[in-house]
Chains A and B, each alone.
Chain A
Amino acid sequence: MSAFGFFAQFLQLFLTVLLAPLLLGWVNQCRAWLQNRQGPGIEQPYRKLRKLFRKDAVIAENASPLFRIVPYILFGAMCLAAAIVPSLATDLGFSEAADAIALVGVFALARIFISLAAMDIGTAFGSMGARREMLVGFLAEPALLMVLFTASLISQSTSLTVIVETLAHRHFGIYPSMAFTGIAFLMVLLAENARIPVDNPASHLELTMIHEAMTLEYSARHLALVEWASSIKLFAYVTMGIALFAPWGIAQAADWLGMAFALPILIGKLLVAGCGLAVIETVMAKQRIFRAPEFMGTAFLFGVLGMLVHFLLGA
């Protein structure tokens, strides 16, 4: 591993973990503005984390050790995911370790553990949330794989860094296949991050929740880690979207100057992406839960279409 690779990897991981709550705060702030509200400020997620870390944890008497460990597993898995998605530079220390398929696997691993933890206590809500999460998850994963496969076919590799390098530094061209997969990816992003129209992150109605229902029994530091992990997941997904569909400006190997430019460019893109997310969440209502299969089915269809277009047009 080169010194640059090590440095880029470290910087990217550090920034991702630190800035992830800020992206969530930005999305929420944009939502508030779009609704003519003042909003709590973009630093609100940090205040919440600070509050939660200061509290004493309440844990159900019948909780198994699994219940306590899962927040750490979740946080770890999301950090790993954030480390392998190239957001600042393509020369990353971890890039050899995991490719696009492994990334999907990391998300699946986190999902399995949070679902197990949700069922661990034995409340109706936890099991209900786990059941719904699995429904959404098993439909979203194939769609996500289709998106990544199309990108892999273009760049002849499943390694995320190679994909991004190919997409970012080929001569500028329009890929019709990527347009289809772009729609598929956006739909997967909304579903996987428990956003409207699949789930409502702001809901207090326990019977309608998907992701929140699974974390109802968590409190204090455990809840803080779960929430932090969720924001890292959103960050990882958004940076993955940027890396796949708008990769310009990302630094190449040993490009120290590029690195210096990559960060402000990334922040600019994140601001735009967060705004876009807020617009989607403001104009849409939450769907009935049984619309989720249709929604994910459409995402899968777009993924497959993207791949077909790639084979037909070779672009």
Chain B
Amino acid sequence: MNSMNFEGMVKMACAAPIWTVEAEGESWRKMAKACADQGGRLVSIWGSEAAEGFVVFAACVFSEGMLISRCSAVDGKFASLADIFPCAARMQRAVHDMLGARCEGEDERPWLSHGIWPPFPLRKSYDPELDFAPAGGNYPFVAVEGEGVHEIAVGPVHAGIIEPGHFRFQVVGEKVLRLEERLGYKHKGVEKALEGLMQNEGAELAARISGDSTVAYSWAYAMALEALCGVTVSTRAGFLRGIFLERERIVNHLADLGALGNDAGFSFGLAQFSAIREDMLRISKEHFGHRLLMDIVVPGGVSKDIDVKAREAILAECASVREKVLILREIYADHTGLQDRFLATGKVESGLAAKLGLTGLAGRASRNACDLREDHPHAPYDKLDVSMATHHGGDVAARVSVRFDEILESLRLVRAMLEMMPEGEIAREIPGCSGFGAGWVEGFRGEVLLTLEVEKGVIRRAHAHDPSWQNWPALEFAVIGNIVADFPLINKSFNLSYSGHDL
């Protein structure tokens, strides 16, 4: 029996357990509260323009799955959920930037918008050519006062070639008193660009939301569209998707582990992990035509099959990657200098993690354990018995350890899926259809959500959510009390997306 029982709850015909419900007036906050009381979490808040005015959606997780509640924003206003889920605050600010619907009494500073494009791009009446007054560059950061306190402004242009983001530190000496982030520099109007695309074209753009999570986003998009059209994919296609997603996870974790060593001045680690990763990417290129597996997961199934040769290559690769990773794990664990940098650095206690709704890999490293593949397994994970990697430390070392565990588990899953995978078709035709659909997939950072409103095969509104939304605010807490020089290492240990967040 469902532990959440609201009038009008409808289960979506989706691979993942997702319910939708109309939540007018009071029930909007009541439903969020009910999820929070169960120990649930907020995944995303977004807005849309409907025929009758603006509507806002909230996707919360409860014990059986996800509940997407829909509420109309009367006079462009809706009730804030930030007191129930602190991570809602930035999403609500983003709703205002994009759509103009606002929470009363909340932080009124812009979040995604830097005032360089006309306001409210997600409105149907939006005109990009419109004359508008660009906002000044003065974003009011919260300052700390006191003797010896000073500010360090970092970014958005960095000394290395990395994604842009601004970090404002308030420090005394080397010690960080406060960090405030300013993002939005990578905003490229993806959600607006998705509007008006044919439902199959949208898949290509969705695959490019965040290059490192291309399989996760493609799958979420495909799942949303399949839910909307009532198509189920073949068992073989499900397994193929699983294999591609796990490969993406392994490749990204390898890159992160190398980069973490490098950021601690141990460039030997970077060289070794990069070599393993590069070998994997080349196998992907050779057998599936793309190093990052872009456009491989498509609505209705997958575009590339695994033949006998590819199967042999992947099995051999699994064995060799496993062997190398185990050796490197030992080297990392035995390295005094490295462990000295990792241990107790950037600690997020489990209590704080739960309060902030820390999700994905970083959440699991702070004992805030949630992994879709174990909690709400959809095909093919329902046949795999995934064991979630967790750690209680909450520091950089814990996030390193979880990455190692997940690589090993993913290698096991890939082998298991190759064994279990039946023969069969790999893709099915999807007819043009209308409705609302959602896809929910565990990417390498955490849960990725993609929702679609489609009308006769044309996208009316699409929303993509990256787990970085939850974890960026937690990073601000993780650095407090650490020294400035350790920030890059802490930041790397979270490895959050700018591109997937700014959209």
A residues near B (Cβ < 8 Å) are 31, 34-37, 124-125, 128, 196-197, 200, 202-209, 212, 216, 282-291
Contacts and interface: CB of A to CB of B under 8 A. Distances in A.
A204 B159 contact: yes
B266 A285 contact: yes
Contacts of B489: 208
A289 B340 contact: no
B268 A290 contact: no
Interface residues of B, number: 33
Contacts of A285: 261, 264-266, 335, 337-338, 340-341
A207 B484 contact: yes
Q: Which of A196, A204, A283 lies at the interface centre, i.e. has the most chain B CB atoms within 10 A of its CB?
A: A204
A206 B159 contact: yes
B487 A203 contact: no
8 contacts: A37-B271, A124-B150, A207-B154, A207-B488, A208-B486, A285-B266, A285-B337, A287-B341
Interface string B466-482: 00000000000000000
Contacts of B483: 288-290
Q: Is the interface of A mostly helix, strand, loop or mixed?
A: loop
A289 B264 CA distance: 11
B152 interface: yes
B265 A200 contact: yes
A196 B154 contact: no
Contacts, number: 86
B204 interface: no
Given A36-B275, A37-B271, A216-B159, A288 B265 contact: no
Contacts of A283: 268
B132 to A, nearest CB: 30
Interface in B265-300: 265-268, 271-272, 275
A92 B261 CA distance: 45
B383 interface: no
A196 B265 contact: yes
Q: Which of A34, A196, A288 lies at the interface centre, i.e. has the most chain B CB atoms within 10 A of its CB?
A: A288
A282 B268 contact: yes
A109 B261 CA distance: 35
A205 B486 contact: no
A293 B151 CA distance: 25
Nearest to B338: A285
Interface of B: 150-154, 158-162, 174, 261, 263-268, 271-272, 275, 335, 337-338, 340-341, 483-489
Contacts of A291: 340
Contacts of B152: 124-125, 128, 207
A193 to B, nearest CB: 14
A52 to B, nearest CB: 16
A200 B264 CA distance: 9
Q: Which of A37, A282, A283, A291 lies at the interface centre, i.e. has the most chain B CB atoms within 10 A of its CB?
A: A37
Contacts of B488: 205, 207-208
B337 A124 contact: no
A290 B174 contact: yes
Contact of B268 (A35, A197, A212): A35
A35 B337 contact: no
B485 A287 contact: no
Contact of B485 (A36, A202, A207): A207
Q: Which of A31, A124, A216 lies at the interface centre, i.e. has the most chain B CB atoms within 10 A of its CB?
A: A124
A33 to B, nearest CB: 11
Contacts of A200: 265
A205 to B, nearest CB: 4
Contacts of A31: 267
Given A207-B488, A284-B265, 9 more contacts: A35-B272, A36-B275, A204-B162, A208-B485, A284-B266, A285-B335, A286-B265, A287-B341, A288-B341
Contact of B337 (A37, A205, A287): A287
A128 B337 contact: no
A66 B151 CA distance: 25
A287 B153 contact: no
A17 B152 CA distance: 37
Contact of B267 (A197, A202, A208, A287): A202
Contacts of B335: 285
A261 to B, nearest CB: 37
A124 B341 contact: no
Contacts of B158: 204, 206
A207 B487 CA distance: 7
